[in-house]
Amino acid sequence: MTLPLSEEAELDERLYVASVAKAMRVMETFDQSSQQLSIADITEMSGLGRSATQRFVYTLHRLGYLRRDPASKLYSVSAKVFRFVHSMIGANAALERSYPLLSQLAKDTRETVSWVELDGDEIVVIGNVPSVHLASITLSVGSRFAALSSSSGQVLLCQRSEAEVRSLIAHMPDAARERFAGKRDDDIVAMLAKVASAGYSLTAKSFDEDSLSISAPVFDFSGRAIAAINLSTLASRYSEKAALAELVPLVVAAAKGASAG
């Protein structure tokens, strides 16, 4: 997967360092489904040549960002990367300010509560308060999911222009499209309009075969949706009707409390 460029009108070739972009492509091959990889795996997933892959992997390993298992010769991300995670979360003033609200929502519902942000066509879990139930949905910090088919992605994307939404729909991964059960593009656009009007999204079976996911948007001072507060529970504990009556109001209230202004 290639890294998205920042929101600049066009690439400034004088300032763009292609080797840094390639190194990041190597780092991006490691995710929750690909935690330990061989040189061949990284080569295939990054799209780089084998020689270039070996040089970047060697450099990242020498710098301490990758570790290598001597027995299996597989590479994984090292703990040094958490320096960036800590810095990013520590600099997220909205999240820091909202942690008491997340904790209270988790305490009141006994369910998993997360702070979620949009990253291109994906959502990323930035903060999390786990459920106290033994049987629960686990969403670790750093988890990524397709935005359009997730409740958090829907409450964030419904604030975008129709042209942006249609572009994302056109490039939606097959796995994400399957979750819309044959809905046409117009149906998805209409669904997002309803989400915007309701102020929340509730999706069933979005994470596994027995789950409900509820999200509401958090806004900054300008009225821009910057994050979503998500609550994940099991359908065995709440029917959709019960979730709408009991959980949705709590999630919406928490998101309003976390919003600026």
Structure-token pair, residue 237: 């504990």
Full set of structural domains in the chain with CATH: 18-81 (1.10.10.10), 92-258 (3.30.450.40)
pLDDT tens digit string along 158-211?
988 889 889 988 888 888 888 887 789 999 999 999 999 999 999 986 445 588
Q: How confident is the model at residue 2 (pLDDT cuts 50, 70, 90)?
A: very low
pLDDT tens digit string along 79-105?
888 777 666 665 577 888 888 999 999
pTM above 0.75, yes or no: no
pLDDT tens digit string along 124-162?
999 899 898 887 888 888 888 889 999 999 999 998 888
Which pLDDT belongs to residue 90? 54
Contact indicator for 238, 261 with CB cutoff of 8 Å:
no
